[in-house]
Homo-oligomer: A and B are copies of this chain.
């Protein structure tokens, strides 16, 4: 099924998520919020078609067999692998700044196709995420936002949101990526075609918080192999920089 027919389907009866363990053979079962949304909000009944993804790269066209507000059971008619997923795995590592800013970055980055998001505690991050309990709650919130954005954007992978990491921890994983883009006002403009060589690979995009990375942080990243790129002459807020950078990289990869 191509994007347009999928979009026609999903505009009407919606696009749902099911945990992989609730798919068995040619049957799957929506429960909780998803069942409520399908049956009570969208008023979908037996015989109607829906598309359901499992967040692990599988999507299914299904016919509803039974529908209550607690449980919707459906028969799988056709399955798709990596529906809506880009060929390149982009990981966005972003410095924690204002709370609303990162909420927004998570949502938009998932819409644009990021595979994974790493919230980083950096020098210019606000004093802390607070107690460990509060930090866990924020990460849980980002994971829920990522799930909603996955459904919104008709993707089949629920992007991973890491627990909060330090910049040195992220730098220690640089070798896992074939390409590392540091978004930095002091960098060079992204040359046309630069990202093309990254097609199908693992790419890391590093973006600072509102106040930016410190000179010491920039030096640590470039010394470890990150290439600094700028986003033009206008000074962008952190969330705008993150989304602008992802847009350009996806465009150069032929995904937008």
Given the contacts A4-B185, A185-B7, A192-B192, A256 and B244 also touching, CB distance less than 8 Å: yes
Q: Which of A171-179, A216-224, A231-239 contacts B (4 or more CB under 8 A)?
A: A231-239
Per the 8 Å Cβ criterion, residues 202-256 of A in contact with B are 231-237, 240, 243-244, 247-248, 250-251, 255-256
Annotate A49-61 by CB proximity to B: 1 below 8 A, 0 otherwise: 0000000000000
A112 touches B247 (CB 8 A): no
Per the 8 Å Cβ criterion, residues 134-175 of A in contact with B are 152-155
Q: How far is the CB of A100 from chain B (nearest CB, A)?
A: 10
Instruction: Give CA–CA (A256, B7) in the complex, Å.
Output: 31
Q: Does A48 have its Cβ within 8 Å of any Cβ on chain B?
A: no
Q: Give the residue name and chain of the B residue nearest to A241 (CB).
A: B111
Q: Does A14 have its Cβ within 8 Å of any Cβ on chain B?
A: no
Q: Does A186 have its Cβ within 8 Å of any Cβ on chain B?
A: yes
Annotate A183-204 by CB proximity to B: 1 below 8 A, 0 otherwise: 0011001101000000000000
Q: Does A13 have its Cβ within 8 Å of any Cβ on chain B?
A: no
Given the contacts A152-B237, A234-B113, A247 and B250 also touching, CB distance less than 8 Å: no
List, in ascending order, chain B residues with CB within 8 A of A236's CB: 111-112, 153
Q: Give the residue name and chain of the B residue nearest to A234 (CB).
A: B153
Of B104, B111, B235, which contacts A234 at CB under 8 A? B111
Q: Can you name 18 A-B pairs with beta carbons within 8 Å?
A: A84-B234, A108-B240, A111-B236, A112-B236, A112-B240, A113-B232, A113-B234, A152-B237, A153-B236, A154-B234, A155-B234, A190-B251, A231-B256, A232-B256, A233-B255, A247-B247, A247-B248, A251-B251
Q: Which 5 A-B pairs have the closest CB atoms?
A: A232-B256, A153-B234, A247-B247, A244-B247, A154-B235
Please give the residue numbers on chain A whose beta carbons come within 8 Å of chain B beta carbons, in ascending order. 3-4, 7, 10, 84, 104, 107-108, 111-113, 152-155, 185-186, 189-190, 192, 231-237, 240, 243-244, 247-248, 250-251, 255-256
